[in-house]
Structure 1
Amino acid sequence: MADTGHKTKIESKAEERTTTPSLFKVLMHNDDYTTMEFVIEVLRDIFHKPSSEAEKIMLTIHFQGVGLCGTFPYAIAETKTDQVRMRARKAGFPLRCSLEEA
């Protein structure tokens, strides 16, 4: 076979796909024992809500039985839920959070 002096270059591009992680809602549930002040404190400290927004979410939890604390990727949502549970148990409250796919 004769060498023509031409080199063939094969370019392959890997298809780049970026996917956004699934998001989960962190829901806080009402109970008869956890104080409103504690719920506001948790919303400010763990979910970084301003005081006015924390109070609004707390009232939603109190009157509707459940309130949305935020929407996060699964690992972050799970961590925040665990932080709430640990802090509540340490303070002697049965406060509960759950995750729901957004």
Structure 2
Amino acid sequence: MWQEMRTTGATVTTLMPGPIETGFAAAGHLMATKLFAPGTGADPAVIAKAGYAGMLQGKLNVVAGLPWWMQATAKTYPILPKRLVLKVVEQLQRVQK
């Protein structure tokens, strides 16, 4: 979309948040996963402000609201084998017993 809009004067910014405290995880019964464990969700207002600021700055991508450990691991994903990344994501999304 960014490529298609680049000559129109409009900007496109992709907001890529981590877990957010919206009630989505609770409604989806995801609170027993590492990804949505209590205390990992960010304040929706903080995420919205980061996205808005990024949009005003003309950023293509804005990553916001990731806990420190997600920030560290997310930076390695582009260089890791895709199968390994998929295993990590599966572990984050698996319900803990």
Structure number with greater Rg is 1
Greater RCO, CA 8 A, separation 6+: 1
